[in-house]
Amino acid sequence: MHSKIALALALLGISRFEVAAGSSLKMTITTPKTSQGPAQVGMVLLPASYCHRLRGGGDEGVENADLEKRWTNDKQQSMKERIQQYESLLNADTDAIQEMKDEMEAMREYMKTKLEIAASETKELKK
């Protein structure tokens, strides 16, 4: 698989790349110095699930477009999950705020009743 990637990168004019596995895959790509300017260095990060493919494992017949599509889908799914988590937290906060409002309303009614009782007792004592 390395040789396929190296060949594809060479065809694109990319002279050197390094693959370092970790929690995600980091590929540093260096293009050759040209008359148009100095060498360019770019970095590509891929999820860990694709590391084994670039190290020669797994399904070698996977096309780059398919790999990129799956990577994009994974990123979109990750973003959707993150949005759902934030919505869940927001809903929990909204529910907590509503509970506090309900408790405050109940306390207001309790205090109002207590004041009415105290006022009526005060009137009776004055008589």
List, for residues 9-39, the tens digit of each pLDDT value: 666 655 555 555 554 545 555 555 666 665 5
Spatial neighbors of 26 by CB under 8 A, at least 6 apart, are 19, 20, 43, 44, 45
pLDDT at residue 46, rounded to an integer? 54
Nearest C-alpha neighbor of 19 from the set 39, 5, 33, 40: 5
Q: Hey, what are 7's tokens? A: 């060949």
Q: How confident is the model at residue 57 (pLDDT cuts 50, 70, 90)?
A: very low
∠ Cα 118 123 126 (to 5°): 125
Q: What are phi and psi of 94, to 5 degrees?
A: -60, -45
More confident residue, 89 or 116: 116
Q: Hey, what are 80's tokens? A: 């959707």
